[in-house]
Amino acid sequence: MPDYQAYQKSISDELISIKDRVRYFIDNHHWAEDGRYKEIILSHVLEKHLPKGVSIGTGFVVNNQKITRQIDIIIYRNDFPIMFQQDNFVIVPAESVLGIIEVKTNIHQNIVEETIKNATDNGKIIDGKIFNGIFSFEESNSWNRDKAKNSLISSNGTVNHICFGPNIFIKYWKKEEYNQEYDLYSIYEIEKYSFGYFISNLIEHIHNQLWQYKLSKTMYRLFYPIEKTKEAFKKEEIPITNS
């Protein structure tokens, strides 16, 4: 019988292993290079899982007269014209975008508000039903949960998926998905599953946007191997009562 839980944990092991392998060669004087390489690491892992007809780049998204800040990872459809492309740097129209991701080494308390706000602003400019994620390779002991909560309440679901290192995963749920009276963010602490769940939610979102039907039972079990017991790992809810 396939061991889907081991497969999900292997995604975390792979990302951490490659990240550490690079760190062995780069000292503390080259953080910019280190950060850029993490975007490349995550992009390459995503490319292994994305369906045909979808591409990954870095750059900007244009919606009418508005343009986003530079986005670390843009996942976009190939059946739309590209406004500009040079290697993996792209400028694409908002209509083609399926997802955006901000990539960080870690999100400590000094940048958690700024990171969520920037991702929120970019999502509002794109103005579509996109996957809007923040991916932090490491969990900082100093990240401020209250600041994160306040920023997520302000984001109001525009940012919808976050991983703080390999163990903490945050997901935005619409009330109809969760059978609640209000929308909410759920914070889960699941050892070595955060990276896998982040990627699984991205792939499911893209699948739904492209083909408008649910995952097969086999793929669902692969993506969410502890789905029936995931709620046991939920540590907190952040209600969005003004939605």
Question: Could you give the CA distance from residue 110 to residue 148 in angstroms, rounded to a whole number?
Answer: 11
Question: Could you give the CA distance from residue 11 to residue 23 in angstroms, rounded to a whole number?
Answer: 18
Tokens 């929120």 belong to residue: 120
Question: Whole-number mean pLDDT of the chain?
Answer: 88
Tell me what pLDDT residue 227 has: 66
Low-confidence ranges of the chain (pLDDT < 50): none
Bridge partners of 59, per DSSP, are 71, 90
Tokens 């609640």 belong to residue: 180
Question: Could you give the CA distance from residue 131 to residue 153 in angstroms, rounded to a whole number?
Answer: 17
Q: Which residues contact 68 (CB under 8 A, 6 or more apart)?
A: 60, 61, 62, 100, 121, 122, 125, 126
Tell me what pLDDT residue 142 has: 56
Q: Which residues contact 20 (CB under 8 A, 6 or more apart)?
A: none
Closest by CA position to 56, among listed 77, 35, 79, 86:
77
| DSSP designation for 83 | S
Domain of residue 59, residue span: 4-240
Tell me what pLDDT residue 29 has: 55
Q: Cα dist. 34→39, 76, 100, 189 in Å?
A: 9, 25, 20, 26
pLDDT in tens, 63-113: 999 999 999 999 999 999 999 999 999 999 999 999 999 999 888 777 889
Question: Could you give the CA distance from residue 114 to residue 237 in angstroms, rounded to a whole number?
Answer: 22
Q: How many CB atoms lie within 10 A of CB 74?
A: 29
Number of compact structural domains in the chain: 1
0.85 exceeded by pTM:
yes
